[in-house]
Amino acid sequence: MAKGRGFFWLFVLATLVVTPFFLDFRDPLSFLRKGERLVNIDLAQLKKMQAANDIQLIDVREPAELEEAGQIPGATNIPLGDVEEAFLMDPKTFLETYNIKKPEKSDANLVFTCRSGVRSLRAVKILEELGYKPLNFKDGYLGWAKGEL
């Protein structure tokens, strides 16, 4: 029986030693992006883009969430469930629906945000499938609000 316990503790120790190399606990979905382009930006990078007026910011939260919590100034709301359909629209329909010019696939300043960075990362993945190269504000509205205090 002692031999079985030893194996168990060896397994636990090996897991604790190896796991940090494969998983970033601040970004639980990081293992999905190994070998892919970097898509996350932080608060400092977001503010730099805002200061340069070089950003197209899309908030993918539901409208009720925006009313309750607020949103980052300059963000346009396109709920996550509507993102794919929105970016498949022709430019005229997109403009009429969202009151902003439809981003080009080559735009390097297209940034998605949400509450904490998880849903916006899903939106980034959807847009990558459509040929865009969007960025994810990994801190989301919570990080932005905390940075504004």
- Catalytic residue list: 114
φ and ψ at residue 108, rounded to 5 degrees: -100, 0
Q: Is 2 helix (H, G, I), strand (E, B) or coil?
A: helix
Using CB atoms within 10 Å of the CB of residue 6, give its burial: 0 to 12 exposed, 13 to 18 middle, 19+ buried.
exposed
How far is CA 121 from each of CA 24, 58, 70, 85, rounded to the nearest angstrom? 15, 12, 20, 17
Using CB atoms within 10 Å of the CB of residue 68, give its burial: 0 to 12 exposed, 13 to 18 middle, 19+ buried.
exposed
